[in-house]
Copies of this chain bind each other. A is one copy, B any other.
């Protein structure tokens, strides 16, 4: 893939304060742009990060044909940069694209484009433990037309932003039954922009009640757990770790979720992917078998849960000292990502 590249004259990378990285507030020197028109992708370009110009009639502004991914690049102690499982995100991106009637983005634009971009902006990948370069590939419809119809022109872009070490104390979770995130026959399994906008009000109301995140339940019976906030969710009941299955198409197939399941199974822990009801969690709690619960996602990686508010009943999870899997998973993933452990699974995609 031939990528035309216009470099910045002066890099801003030396302006990053390594001790105070604010995620999503600073963007690296360059960005990638590829346009789709007349049924094919044009040559991608890497240009200095900056504003883009568009018609106010651009169709995605009005009709939301817009999808994204979130991926992280890590620098190891030797200074080598690798990306965590980018091909899994590329495949999921195209699953989203298909559901949203958007074109597939080929590997040589998504993966090779990302490789070129990160190589060029390698000084933007932070070195401290827990830090990374967050990579945001996204695509939106660019027809200048406000009739409601599937678009024919699209733009794919990649921007990147350095991310500091993510730590938050164990989260306080509110079980949401009034609002529903996704339903069978909808787009819950995709990373479409519309899924996120619909959650802003429920999330705001939850924070106003003093909780950090929502535990979403299914829309049909209002009892099966789905995701927490924008993360997949795992519960350890007795010796088993359980996470909701993806059958209904209402849950995102998280790359961290898949990695966590694989690591746990390798360690000999039973992992069940199946419908999990709030009632089952409450019953396990009453028997003293609710051992641990945590969210998984690219941003937080592993986010342990401190408590659940289920219709006014408070379920307090055991304290950190007793955690058997979440702390281990966090360390295991970090060791693989920062090259402290051999990457036997080929999860790390080497850049430079």
**A187-216 interface mask toward B, CB cutoff 8 Å, 1 = contact, 0 = none?**
100001111111011011000000000000
Q: Is A41 an interface residue (CB 8 A)?
A: no
Residues of chain B contacted by A219 (CB below 8 angstroms): 183-186, 219-220
Q: Which residue of B lies closest to A185 (CB)?
A: B180
B56, A159: Cβ atoms closer than 8 Å: yes
**A26-67 interface mask toward B, CB cutoff 8 Å, 1 = contact, 0 = none?**
010001000000000000000001011111110011111110
Knowing A146-B161, A185-B179, say if A196 contacts B66 (CB, 8 Å): no
Q: By the criterion of a CB under 8 Å from any partner CB, how many residues of chain A are at the interface?
A: 63
Residues of chain B contacted by A268 (CB below 8 angstroms): none
Interface residues of A in 145-161 (CB under 8 A from B): 145-151, 157, 159, 161
Residues of chain B contacted by A204 (CB below 8 angstroms): 101, 150
Complexed CA–CA distance, A194 and B199 (Å): 12
Q: Is A326 an interface residue (CB 8 A)?
A: no
Q: How many copies does the complex hold?
A: 2
- Report the minimal beta-carbon distance from A55 to chain B, rounded to whole angstroms: 6
Q: Is A15 an interface residue (CB 8 A)?
A: no
Residues of chain B contacted by A198 (CB below 8 angstroms): 64, 100, 186-187, 192, 194
- Report the minimal beta-carbon distance from A340 to chain B, rounded to whole angstroms: 28
Interface centre among A62, A134, A145, by most B CB within 10 Å?
Answer: A62
Q: Is A230 an interface residue (CB 8 A)?
A: yes
B180, A186: Cβ atoms closer than 8 Å: yes
- Report the minimal beta-carbon distance from A262 to chain B, rounded to whole angstroms: 26
A200, B65: Cβ atoms closer than 8 Å: yes
The one of B24, B27, B159, B195 in contact with A194, judged by C-beta atoms closer than 8 angstroms, is B195
Knowing A100-B201, A146-B24, A192-B194, say if A51 contacts B62 (CB, 8 Å): no
Q: Is A136 an interface residue (CB 8 A)?
A: yes
A66, B64: Cβ atoms closer than 8 Å: yes
Q: Which residue of B lies closest to A197 (CB)?
A: B64
Complexed CA–CA distance, A246 and B197 (Å): 22
Q: Is A140 an interface residue (CB 8 A)?
A: yes
Complexed CA–CA distance, A42 and B57 (Å): 22
Q: Which residue of B lies closest to A178 (CB)?
A: B185
Knowing A53-B52, A203-B150, say if A64 contacts B192 (CB, 8 Å): yes
Residues of chain B contacted by A60 (CB below 8 angstroms): 61, 193, 197
Residues of chain B contacted by A347 (CB below 8 angstroms): none
**16 A–B contact pairs at CB < 8 A?**
A24-B146, A27-B57, A51-B56, A52-B55, A53-B53, A54-B54, A60-B61, A60-B193, A61-B140, A62-B196, A64-B192, A66-B193, A180-B183, A186-B198, A186-B219, A219-B220
